[in-house]
């Protein structure tokens, strides 16, 4: 018998815990403990209360008590609007992105380059490097001219830089990047040709020998590759061309010092004149005339004299061919600052050697 007939029957607690009084919403009177009409509802409430975590206990205890109070008193539920349940506040900086940044992406935000825009618009595939690569070409040409006047070993420093940029620029011009093995192979061929030139007292046969050996080496390496036949052929042609250009640039080391000085100065002036905002035919004519004038001026300092005009014009013509090659097939800015810088000087090296020997 229970001495309190007005209170509902309390189940037996095996752990001896005292039943907790329900919490009331501030501003409302105490409603007392409300019983459940059927045991399934009580079991459902018990499962929901036991299934709460530490987050829901802190943030959803008050709305649950308020819902019970409204369910117990229908009139109060009608007169008092039920506020929506509060959402648990997430820790600061957990999921919300930092202000000023866009949503995170897997591939990153794409940026349309000038070459891609020109290809999409159907414009000419020829994009000239511009004045900045031309200035770098002129600087490297002046370094070659000054180092040639100093001595052979001083000429090695700018020449090695030219050969490295030539090998890297040719691969990038052909869309093959990073291509570390091909660049390293072409640059190693240039270094081998330089060493052979120094060992053979600057004999041009060293250039031809190094070129033949490196073509065979590139062929063997491509035959051992497991790539597709088309890809191997494309890689073979790019490796052979990069090695050939880097090795041929060693012609500055085989040529006479006066010829290197005149030719490098003429190439520097021609490339800068070619970068001027003029129509293409007029720009080519101005470049050749400026190179011839620079050849005459440099020839007065050296022993070539007025014959430096022919040497300067010939070197400038080959340099303009290299400049045109570096401008083809929608080149990127990186191509302009590698191939656009090195190819004019590398292409002019054979003309400097041949015309230098012919005019000496």
Listing DSSP states for 192-235 in one string gives: HHHHHHHHTTS-THHHHHHHHHHHHHHHHHHHT--S-HHHHHHH
The model's pLDDT over 45-92, given as tens digits with 9 standing for 90+, comes to 444 444 444 444 444 444 444 445 444 444 444 444 455 555 554 454
Task: State residue 4's pLDDT score.
Answer: 46
Task: State residue 270's pLDDT score.
Answer: 97
Q: What is the mean pLDDT of the chain?
A: 78
Of the chain, the end-to-end C-alpha distance in Å amounts to: 132
Q: How many helices (H) and strands (E) does the chain have?
A: 15, 0
Backbone angles phi, psi at 145, to 5 degrees: -65, -45
The answer to whether 322 touches 343, Cβ cutoff 8 Å, is yes
pTM to 2 decimal places: 0.67
Task: State residue 85's pLDDT score.
Answer: 53
Determine the Cα–Cα distance for residues 287 and 294; give it in Å rounded to an integer: 10
Task: State residue 9's pLDDT score.
Answer: 47
- CA-angle at 101, arms to 100 and 103, nearest 5°: 140
> What is the block-wise mean pLDDT of the chain (360 residues), using blocks of 10 residues?
47 47 45 46 46 45 46 46 51 48 47 69 85 97 96 95 96 83 92 94 92 92 83 89 95 95 97 95 96 95 92 97 92 92 97 92
Residue at token pair 């005149």: 262
């Amino acid at each position: 018998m229970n001495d309190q007939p007005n209170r509902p029957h309390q189940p037996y607690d095996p752990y001896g815990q005292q039943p907790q009084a329900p919490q009331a919403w501030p501003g409302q009177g105490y409603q007392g403990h409300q019983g459940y009409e059927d045991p399934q509802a009580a079991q459902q409430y018990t499962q929901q209360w036991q299934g709460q975590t530490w987050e829901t206990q802190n943030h959803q205890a008050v709305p649950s008590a308020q819902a019970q109070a409204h369910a117990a008193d229908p009139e109060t539920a009608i007169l008092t609007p039920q506020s929506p349940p509060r959402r648990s506040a997430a820790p600061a900086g957990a999921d919300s992105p930092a202000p000023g940044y866009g949503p995170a992406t897997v591939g990153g935000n794409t940026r349309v380059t000038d070459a891609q825009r020109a290809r999409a618009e159907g414009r000419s595939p020829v994009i000239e490097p511009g004045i900045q690569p031309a200035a770098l070409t002129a600087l490297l040409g002046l370094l070659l001219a000054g180092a040639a006047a100093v001595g052979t070993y001083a000429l090695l420093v700018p020449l090695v830089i030219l050969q490295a940029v030539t090998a890297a620029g040719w691969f990038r011009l052909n869309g093959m990047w990073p291509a570390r093995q091909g660049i390293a192979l072409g640059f190693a061929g240039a270094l081998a040709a330089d060493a052979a030139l120094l060992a053979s007292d600057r004999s041009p046969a060293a250039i031809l020998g190094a070129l033949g050996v490196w073509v065979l080496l590139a062929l063997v390496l491509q035959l051992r590759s497991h790539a597709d036949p088309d890809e191997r052929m494309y890689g073979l042609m790019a490796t052979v061309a990069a090695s050939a250009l880097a090795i041929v640039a060693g012609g500055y080391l085989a040529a006479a010092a006066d010829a290197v000085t005149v030719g490098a100065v003429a190439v520097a002036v021609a490339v800068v004149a070619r970068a001027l905002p003029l129509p293409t035919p007029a720009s080519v004519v101005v470049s050749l005339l400026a190179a011839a004038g620079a050849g005459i001026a440099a020839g007065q300092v050296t022993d070539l004299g007025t014959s430096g005009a022919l040497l300067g014009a010939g070197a400038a013509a080959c340099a303009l061919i290299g400049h045109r090659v570096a401008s083809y097939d929608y080149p990127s800015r990186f191509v302009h600052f590698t191939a656009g810088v090195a190819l004019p000087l590398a292409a002019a090296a054979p003309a400097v050697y041949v015309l230098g020997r012919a005019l000496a």
